[in-house]
Amino acid sequence: MTLKKDGIDKPEGKLGILIPGLGAVSTTFISGVLLIRKGLSLPIGSLTQMGKIKVGKGDKAKYVNIKDFVPLASLEDIEFGGWDIFEDNVYEAASKARVIKKEDIEPIKAELSAIKPWKAVFNKEYVKKLDGVWVKKAPSYWDLAQMVKDDILKFKEEKKLSRMVMVWCGSTEIFQQVIPGVHDTLENFEKALKESHPKIAPSMIYAYAALSLGIPYANGAPNLCNDIPALWELADKNKAPMGGKDFKTGQTLMKTILSPGLKARMLGVSGWYSTNILGNRDGEVLDDPESFKTKEVSKLSVLDRIFQPEIYPDLYKDYYHKVTINYYPPRGDNKEGWDNIDIFGWLGYPMQIKIDFLCRDSILAAPIVLDLALFMDLSKRASLYGNQEWLSFYWKSPMHEPDRDPIHDLFVQLMKLKNTLRWLMDEPPVTFLGSESYD
């Protein structure tokens, strides 16, 4: 019998990471990788670079680095390319984002300055708070998709790449739902591209371009994007891995850590109020009610799936959940999230939990971009394609089959991720029976 690990292609050659949106998140990610490659910093927050996994049982059990356990691409072999609606190179964009201090990016100024964005696909109807000035012009959306593919293929040739992945780091688009006749089949979607149908968002054009070339695609925003039947069909057709939606950072990360603990102890929740202040381009975009609606749906979905009020009505029926985001320019990328949680315990007696999380959104998101790029590349080399549900650990609103509920519990997600890695390497899963530890 052939072992699964023997069927995984080695990560030979260079990996190109394609990024629509060279703003705060992506410039923080690129800067971080370059600093880490020079030995000037550590990849803190990255499971692929710092995480360990338990293999073997009993006296033979040991902990090994994930990056040594599965064949991941080396940071030394990564090349960066991307699109943006502004012409700033990555050094200029990183300086304006002000996530990383200027003195910290000076050692990599030359490398960052050499990464210049390609003109972006942009439609102001989908991101109403921004005005794109470095944008592609074409007769139809179909032609725009071909232009994106041309950028990708030219980049592959120039950098002598063996493989590529695409990670969406662009803005949150206005709320959308699947439209029959447009998003339901690949045939209808391609027809709609040629007709420049108004219900095709820029993010969908990027996803289509990547998947049509068999390139893995990860959606870092809550946009509908690749979570439509047409692009699921395309991913299956071209054997391309994909996933989404919305990087799990900040307040939602806290929810997926805390709420499983409350449920595990059978503590009730009567209300969970969350509010945020945020500057930077992300905060400006979310100041538009239609873009905020997209983010709100993503953030609200988490607690219902974890608490399961239909199964535990005495604890969670009719609990009140409110989420707001307020644009506050002075804060920049340093988001602050406040949570007030009204809980109750034995005999129904009330208690409260209050959280004030002063986080750096892009600092939390950057290692997610790295991990997703490396794991999506691994999926492609392991002949996995379609939605990579095992990577739900990284998403606020994980994509899932229509007849299945998504998993939101962070610790269950981590177990699923690590057991998938074990499965790929023909190691037995951790089942928590007997005296096995968590990892």
Parse the chain into domains and list their residue ranges: 4-247+363-424, 251-358
Higher-confidence residue of 153 and 3: namely 153
> What's 251-358's CATH class?
alpha beta
pLDDT of residue 124: 96
d(CA 388, CA 398): 9
CA angle 221–418–424, rounded 5-degree value: 105
pLDDT of residue 2: 67
Dist. CA 233–CA 213, nearest whole Å:
14
Q: What percent of the chain has pLDDT over 70?
A: 97
Asked whether residue 391 carries a pLDDT value surpassing 90, the answer given is yes
Q: What is the pLDDT of residues 287-324, one digit of tens each?
A: 788 887 877 777 778 899 999 999 999 999 999 999 99
pTM comes to 0.94
CB 133 within 8 Å of CB 86? yes
Q: Which helix (H) or strand (E) holds 156?
A: helix 141-159
Average pLDDT over residues 319-343: 93
For 159-187, the pLDDT digits (tens) are 999 999 999 999 999 999 999 999 999 99
Of 15-19, 203-207, 409-413, least confident by mean pLDDT is: 409-413
Q: Is the pLDDT of residue 140 over 80?
A: yes
The residues near 263 (Cβ < 8 Å, ≥ 6 apart) are 306, 307, 308, 312, 315
| pLDDT score of 267 | 98
CATH number of 4-247+363-424: 3.40.50.720
The whole-chain average pLDDT of the chain stands at 94
336-344 and 350-358: which strand pairing? antiparallel
Range name among 114-118, 220-224, 312-316, 334-338 with the lowest pLDDT average: 334-338
pLDDT the model gives residue 188: 98
Whether 242 has a pLDDT exceeding 80, the answer reads yes
